[in-house]
Amino acid sequence: MNEKLYLEDEENLGTKELEGYENVYCRPDTLTDVPFHYCPGCGHSVVHKVLMEVIDELGIQEETIGVAPVGCSVFAYNYMNVDMQEAAHGRATAVATGIRRVLPDKYVFSYQGDGDLAAIGTAETIHTVNRGENILMVFINNGIYGMTGGQMAPTSLIGQVTSTTPYGREAANVGNPIKIADLLCLLPGAYYVTRQAVYNSNGVRKLKKALVKAFEYQKQKKGTCFIEVVSNCPSGWKMTPVETIKYLEEQMIPMYPLGDLKVPQN
């Protein structure tokens, strides 16, 4: 697409066929026309986009209800064009349980950060999975509290400098990084548990596949599906987006290895 055409048709970009051009991509209806407020380089935008693309492709926009947490993604409902509820900090899966129980044939997902899901909401996380609630939990693990300005998360790495561990995280004082996905695998209610990342295109493709599977399992009422996305936080980590990718590969992923942790037993 040449620049002139782009400028002339900016308003209609992606929404109508342009003469002489094939429309290969447009914003799905599941995403609102609101620019993401996330910091440049942050994984949230990518995960939002992929999640909404999957809902669009599966044609389940009208049947899906999402739950946004407290954290950077508190405003997820501004971007996700599906019915949504904003939950109190840590309580997203209790809210999702309430929704799913009274709307048993709808699709319900929670979208939560590490503070929400693995610290203040640990009880809800464990018991929701233990009940095998038919929901999808999307867990963004970036090892830091982004929204409040870079404090230690339950998943922060040993030695990681944050605003509340200014000399690095010490296990003797504040414990070790918690591998919540691994813990959840022990529960019979967990049907599908996987850990993905979105810092490269291969990862994005894999996440998309995982999301499709999770919604399919939810349709079959198989139990809880849990997708962790190891993500980055340029602002909280005090790094450039490019530096965060190096940190992800060299520090985060060795601690939180990617791949399926629990797959359906046939």
Partner 1 sequence: MESKETKKSEARLMKGNEALAEAAIRAEIDAYFGYPITPQTEVIEYLTREVPLRENCKTIVLQAESEVASINMVYGAAGAGARVMTSSSSPGISLMQEGISYIAAAQLPCLLVNVVRGGPGLGTIQPSQGDYFQSTKGGGHGDYRLIVLAPASVQEMADFVFDGFKLAEKYRNPVLSLSDGALGQMMEKVVLPEAGSLKKTPAPWATTGKTKNREHNIITSLFMQSEEMEQVNLQMQEKYKSMQKEVRYEEIKVDDAEFLLVAFGLSSRICQKTVDLAREKGIKVGLLRPITLYPFPYDRLKELSNQVEFMLTVEMNAGQMVEDVRLAVEGKVPVHFTGRMGGMVLSPEEILHKIESIHESLTTANV
- Is residue 71 within 8 A of residue 146, CB to CB? The reply is yes
State in angstroms the smallest separation of the CB of 103 from partner 1.
5
Subset of 209-238 contacting partner 1 (CB under 8 A): none
Instruction: Decide: is 9 part of the binding site for partner 1 (CB under 8 A).
Output: no
Backbone φ and ψ of 196, nearest 5°: -130, 175
Of the candidate residues 102, 172, 254, 266, the single one contacting partner 1 (CB under 8 A): 102
Instruction: Decide: is 88 part of the binding site for partner 1 (CB under 8 A).
Output: yes
State in angstroms the smallest separation of the CB of 188 from partner 1.
16
State in angstroms the smallest separation of the CB of 94 from partner 1.
4
Nearer to partner 1, 67 or 157 (CB): 67
d(CA 257, CA 76): 27
Q: Between 66 and 85, how does the x/- string for binding to partner 1 read (CB under 8 A)?
A: -xx-----xx-x--xxxxxx
Instruction: Decide: is 185 part of the binding site for partner 1 (CB under 8 A).
Output: no
- Is residue 241 within 8 A of residue 233, CB to CB? The reply is no
d(CA 127, CA 161): 32
Write out the two tokens for 158: 């040993």
Write out the two tokens for 11: 């308003």
When computed from its CA atoms, the radius of gyration of the chain, rounded to whole angstroms, is 19
State in angstroms the smallest separation of the CB of 185 from partner 1.
19
Strand partners, 140: 113, 229
- Is residue 139 within 8 A of residue 226, CB to CB? The reply is yes
State in angstroms the smallest separation of the CB of 190 from partner 1.
16
According to DSSP H, which parts of the chain are helical? 3-8, 43-58, 76-79, 92-102, 114-115, 122-130, 171-174, 180-184, 201-219, 234-237, 241-247, 253-255
Sign of the Cα torsion 115, 140, 254, 188 reads: positive
Instruction: Decide: is 63 part of the binding site for partner 1 (CB under 8 A).
Output: yes
Write out the two tokens for 192: 């599908």
Nearer to partner 1, 70 or 152 (CB): 70
Of the candidate residues 42, 51, 52, 96, the single one contacting partner 1 (CB under 8 A): 96
Of the candidate residues 9, 56, 57, 86, the single one contacting partner 1 (CB under 8 A): 86
| # chain residues binding partner 1, by CB under 8 A | 34
d(CA 75, CA 126): 25
State in angstroms the smallest separation of the CB of 131 from partner 1.
8
Specify the amino acid at residue 45.
S
Nearer to partner 1, 69 or 177 (CB): 69
Q: Between 103 and 122, how does the x/- string for binding to partner 1 read (CB under 8 A)?
A: x--x----------------
Nearer to partner 1, 79 or 247 (CB): 79
Residues at the interface with partner 1 (CB under 8 A): 32, 61-65, 67-68, 74-75, 77, 80-88, 91, 94-99, 101-103, 106, 123-124, 127
